[in-house]
Amino acid sequence: MSGNRAVAYLKPGAVEVRTIDYPTLELQDGPGVASKNVGRKCRHGVILKVLATNICGSDQHMVRGRTTAPEGLVLGHEITGEIVERGPDVEFLDVGDIVSVPFNIACGRCRNCKERKTGICLSVNPARPGAAYGYVDMGGWVGGQAEYVMVPYADFNALRFPDRDAAREKLLDLTMLSDIFPTGFHGAVTAGAGVGSTVYVAGAGPVGLAAAASAQLLGAAVVIVGDLNAQRLAQARSFGCETVDVSRGPVEEQIAEILGEPEVDAAVDAVGFEARGHGSADAPEAPATVLNSLMGVTKAGGALGIPGLYVTDDPGGVDQDARTGTLKVRLGLGWAKSHHFTTGQCPVMKYHRALSQAILHDKVHIAKAVNATVIGIEEAPRGYAEFDQGASRKYVLDPHGALNGVRAV
């Protein structure tokens, strides 16, 4: 095998589908590869034929030029595929297995992995704790928006679907297990969503919608989703959520109209550092808006789940502070209300097996909730552009036609 079509970051606003090398069981030098990772042997890895790989809001931060991602970085951290080659140290997976791959790369051997904190594995990224495929500052592991990709520490990372036929049939739902479904679920769980709770989710992008569907799965009495994108709010209503339009004015007033009181039990930030200010449709970016408004609307003693991404370097930040990820967060308010906060990468592995069972046994309809939309890998630039413009869709790339005829369940 020689070529491998893959989606690469070109420059702010542009991605390109290009032919890269077919993966090997060794991390080769390339754009974004940490120097200490060059030549890293992956006898514990597998090579996957990618069956489904999704475009994420996290990719958009890079493609909008809001990170220091290098030109040529191959994108894609949401990967589901079939094993076509296994390294000599792989014990429990076989060629032909269909697997979901957590977007976090974890070794399974370090202190944090042993504590199930797989989003901050200590040994896969020489620059800082935590690694991912196709992501700036995440070790340089080659992205999976490609026909083929190498997955290291495969026994530990991969979730194998024992029934291949069932996996293929529900692939459009199962592809959400690599990131947004566990991420949304983690947001809801860490916010304290549970039976009978009231939940506010800021952001009606795919992660917010996944958090809302997760809160429902957890038994929430009312799930309210906020955004300023009317189409995305309509998508949230399509599966039973209430909505608030943050461009109309204060969130707490709109929550009071729905609940009869201005507070909720649990709140999720599914927006992150590119948050827009409230109160007008063309409000400029105000990166601490969501964090501050969530502290305002969450009951005393409640919690904030914060999957929305915050960065240490943002070349496009609104001011000097924002450019170093320094935000004007009203911590005094959160402190006074004894709030808990949970930030960081979602440790996907904590949740993906249980959520796969919920999908396979029809307990949740995650692909419908996020409006999963299949496109070919050559159409990736269009998918990125439409998603950037706020399309209410979760774009799923289908490099090998595996999703032909597959429907959301």
Ligand X SMILES: NC(=O)c1ccc[n+]([C@@H]2O[C@H](COP(=O)([O-])OP(=O)(O)OC[C@H]3O[C@@H](n4cnc5c(N)ncnc54)[C@H](O)[C@@H]3O)[C@@H](O)[C@H]2O)c1
Which residues of the chain form contacts with ligand X (CB under 6 A)?
56-58, 60-61, 179-180, 183, 202-208, 226-229, 232, 246, 270-272, 275-276, 278, 289-290, 307-309, 345-346
Selected binder of Zn ion within 6, 42, 79, 113 (CB under 5 A): 113
Q: Could you tell me which residues are beta bridge partners of residue 242?
A: 224
Strands 46-54 and 264-269: unpaired
Considering the complex, state which of residue 23 and residue 143 has its C-beta at the smaller distance from ligand X. Answer: 143
Number of residues engaging Zn ion in binding (CB under 5 A): 10
Considering the complex, state which of residue 107 and residue 171 has its C-beta at the smaller distance from Zn ion. Answer: 107
- DSSP SS3 for 234: helix
Q: Which residue, 393, 9, 390, 379, is CA-closest to 176?
A: 393
Q: Which does 146 bind (CB under 5 to 8 A by kind): Zn ion, ligand X, none?
A: none
Selected binder of Zn ion within 107, 297, 309, 360 (CB under 5 A): 107
Contact string (CB under 5 A) for Zn ion, positions 52-71, x = contact: ----x-x-------------
247 lies in the site for Zn ion, by CB under 5 A: no
Q: Which does 269 bind (CB under 5 to 8 A by kind): ligand X, Zn ion, none?
A: none
**H or E segment at 229?**
none
Write down the least CB distance from residue 14 to ligand X, Å: 18
Considering the complex, state which of residue 58 and residue 293 has its C-beta at the smaller distance from Zn ion. Answer: 58
Dump the DSSP string for 51-100.
EEEE--HHHHHHHTT-S-PPTTPBP---EEEEEEEE-TT--S--TT-EEE
Q: Which does 113 bind (CB under 5 to 8 A by kind): Zn ion, ligand X, none?
A: Zn ion
- DSSP SS3 for 264: strand
The one-letter amino acid at 222: V
Q: Which does 61 bind (CB under 5 to 8 A by kind): ligand X, Zn ion, none?
A: ligand X
Share of the chain residues as helix, strand and coil, in percent rounded to the nearest 5: 30, 25, 45
Q: Which does 206 bind (CB under 5 to 8 A by kind): ligand X, Zn ion, none?
A: ligand X
Residue with tokens 């490099």: 399
**H or E segment at 390?**
none
265 lies in the site for Zn ion, by CB under 5 A: no
Selected binder of Zn ion within 6, 8, 121, 236 (CB under 5 A): 121
Write down the least CB distance from residue 213 to ligand X, Å: 13
Q: Which does 121 bind (CB under 5 to 8 A by kind): Zn ion, ligand X, none?
A: Zn ion
Considering the complex, state which of residue 76 and residue 208 has its C-beta at the smaller distance from ligand X. Answer: 208
| Assigned token pair, 128 | 């800082």
Considering the complex, state which of residue 73 and residue 220 has its C-beta at the smaller distance from Zn ion. Answer: 73
Q: Which residue, 143, 40, 103, is CA-closest to 344?
A: 103
Contact 302/266 with Cβ under 8 angstroms?
yes
Considering the complex, state which of residue 44 and residue 276 has its C-beta at the smaller distance from ligand X. Answer: 276
Tell me how far apart the alpha carbons of residues 162 and 385 are, in angstroms, rounded to a whole number: 36
**What are the DSSP E strand ranges found in 306-360?**
340-342
Contact residues for 289 (Cβ-Cβ < 8 A; gap 6+): 275, 276, 277, 278
Considering the complex, state which of residue 389 and residue 404 has its C-beta at the smaller distance from ligand X. Answer: 389
Which positions touch Zn ion (CB under 5 A)?
Answer: 56, 58, 78, 106-107, 110, 113, 121, 123, 179
